[in-house]
Amino acid sequence: MHKFKTVALLILGWFFVVIGIIGLFLPFLQGILFIMIGLGILSSRSETVKRFLKHVEERHPQYHERMTVWRKKIKGWFQKENV
């Protein structure tokens, strides 16, 4: 089950990144938003993406708070609830 969840998150994350890249060229899609959502999802499973996001946070500190809020929301969506 853990392996299925990991694969599902990777597919979902890359789906959002690809939609975001397409959205950069289409006026009705918010490309950056979808890319950031995808990277947020991928950062939960990939150390490379985590390092990239850390680099972006250090280079652009004004976006650090926004990225932190999104990362917490995304992690909350995929964490198992204690019943």
Domain boundaries, the chain: 2-78
More confident site: 46 or 12: 12
Give 1-45 pLDDT, tens digit per residue: 678 888 888 899 899 999 999 988 988 888 888 888 888 888 888
**Look-up: residue for tokens 């390092």?**
51
In contact, 42 and 14? CB cutoff 8 Å: yes
Q: Which pTM does this prediction carry?
A: 0.67
As a whole number of angstroms, the longest Cα–Cα distance in the chain is 44
Q: Any long-range contacts for 61-68 (C-beta under 8 Å, 24+ apart)?
A: 67/36, 67/40
Q: What is the rounded CA–CA span in Å between residue 42 and residue 62?
A: 22
